[in-house]
Amino acid sequence: MKIDCMKTATVPPVFLAKAKMLLKIVAQISFLVVIAWLGNLISRNIAWGIPGNILGIVFLFIALELRILPLSWVESGASLLIAELVLFFIPSAVAVIQFEPLLKQNGLAFFLVITISTLGVMLVVGTITETLMRYREKR
């Protein structure tokens, strides 16, 4: 007796929904990688001195702002990357541990530079965000 598995097996709808979401996220992350790659390609061929990843982010921002690219094409993938952002810093943290003598000698200076620069970035980003929000409210 021969049993045809394709006729008797059914895939649960929950599994199909999760598989579809996973494929969507993989496609969106792949799209973001292509944008970063294009930014790097342009950066290498044009001597602007701007890193390719930054160019890619700028191109993505412009495409989203001009509504050339719908937000739904990158939103889930970008949300996952942001949610897992801490994982991208683990190699850097491990590398810092290798320089223990340097940290013991200049640790306070490093701490001050990191703290002041972080506060400066937060101040600039906060000011720009508030300015843009006020501008959008006026429109």
More confident residue, 6 or 61: 61
Q: What are phi and psi for residue 47, nearest 5 degrees?
A: -85, 70
pLDDT in tens, 5-18: 556 667 788 888 89
pLDDT given for residue 10 in this prediction:
78
pLDDT in tens, 63-98: 999 999 999 999 999 999 999 888 887 887 788 788
Q: Confirm if 53 and 39 have CB atoms less than 8 A apart.
A: yes
Q: Provide mean pLDDT across the span 86-112.
A: 85
Q: Provide mean pLDDT across the span 57-68.
A: 93
Q: Confirm if 39 and 52 have CB atoms less than 8 A apart.
A: yes
Does residue 63 share a domain with residue 1?
yes
CB-based contacts of 62: which residues, under 8 Å, 6+ apart? Answer: 68
More confident residue, 8 or 34: 34
Does residue 99 share a domain with residue 66?
no
CB-based contacts of 31: which residues, under 8 Å, 6+ apart? Answer: 73, 74, 77
User: Measured between alpha carbons, how far is 33 from 86 in angstroms, rounded to an integer?
Assistant: 18
Last residue of a domain, one of 65, 83, 101: 83
Last residue of a domain, one of 83, 101, 128: 83
pTM of structure: 0.60
Tokens of 31: 């799209």
Q: Provide mean pLDDT across the span 92-121.
A: 88
